[in-house]
Amino acid sequence: MLSVAVFAYPGMSPFHLAVPCLVLGERRGLPPLYDVQVCAEEPGSFPTNAGFGITVDRGLDAMETADVVVLPSWEPGLMASDVLLDAIRRAHVRGATVVGLCVGAFLVAESGIAQGREVVTHWRFADELRSRYPSLKVRADVLWSDQGDLVTSAGTASSLDCCLHLVRRHHGFEVAEQLARDIVVAPHRSGSQAQYIPVPVPPDPADDVIEKAMVWARARLDQPVSLDEWAGAVALSRRTFTRQFRARTGSSGQAWLLRQRLDRARLLLETTDLSVERVAAESGFGSSDALRHHFHTVLGTTPQRHRQEFYSSASRM
């Protein structure tokens, strides 16, 4: 079981602290996925910004052995102490994955572990982070970014997406899907999805033709789906469909469909004995070569390696 140290500090938002504890912590009636410890620079009782206090028993020594160190938030105007920054650096050097959620990216940046690398933060604070740390490649257009040893996310609800991504990375697609159902959140929002979409849903959900198009495509993932056929299924022209799909999701239809096919392939690899060729056919890639190409490009692995890492005979369909 991987160990997780979640950093807390006086005046922080209890929501930001609760997210990693909810997603990574103990599950009702089920074995925990991680050993989660909340830690603080000075253990004890301190206030939050919500009008009530919390008590933290562990000090920063929790970071010394943790496999994952989560920095859920920060105040951009605060200067972190040398003690805290040293604890983050030592954990990173030791091999821990450091996760900066929302403006926790400021702590990541101040520690120096992200020099010259990509960092995501809340769009409202991106310019400030970019100005203070010009060596960083600051992104405000995506939900989260996984650099292997460094994971950062945008604000508030996207922290849920980022933590669910960690569960997928460590425990597989099926476990993450079940956890998402348990806490009643979207099972998968890609890290590349836009942070801010001007018109996310129509005034009347019954008129959401793009949602209907998504349902139509998900039912046909094992079949070739042309853009013209897809648009025609909801009585839109190709041009109108393309424009409305991006406005609704922040992504192109082709990119969304690829993610759906990859998710289907990952689930089949994790839960069935189907050959890679059959998985490719069932998920709409047509050939095992195409499946391997997209696995390598998007996920940085191979179908065989993914199956070896996450397949369990106890989880067969």
SS3 letters across 141-203? CCCEEECCCEEEECCCCHHHHHHHHHHHHHHCHHHHHHHHHHHCCCCCCCCCCCCCCCCCCCC
pTM over 0.85, yes/no: no
Cα four-point dihedral sign 77, 81, 84, 89: positive
Span 309-317, average pLDDT: 54
* pLDDT cut 70: percent of the chain above it: 91
With cut-offs at 50, 70 and 90, classify the pLDDT of residue 163.
Answer: very high
What is the rounded CA–CA span in Å between residue 236 and residue 229? 10
* The pLDDT value given to residue 178: 85
8 A C-beta contact, residue 208 and residue 202:
yes
Give the pLDDT confidence of 206-232 residue by residue, as tens digits: 568 988 999 999 999 999 999 999 999
pLDDT digits (tens, 9 = 90+) for 58-90: 999 999 999 999 999 999 989 999 999 999 999
Q: Strands 2-8 and 118-120: what pairing?
A: unpaired
Classify strands 34-40 and 53-56 as parallel, antiparallel or unpaired. unpaired
CA–CA separation, 255 vs 22, rounded Å?
A: 30
Percent of the residues in the chain that have a pLDDT greater than 90, as a whole number: 67
Q: What is the mean pLDDT of residues 265-276?
A: 90
Residue 312 has pLDDT above 80, yes or no: no
pLDDT (mean) for 158-186:
87
pLDDT band at 177 (very low <50, low <70, confident <90, very high): confident
Q: Length of the chain in residues, anyone?
A: 317
- Mean pLDDT over the full length of the chain: 89
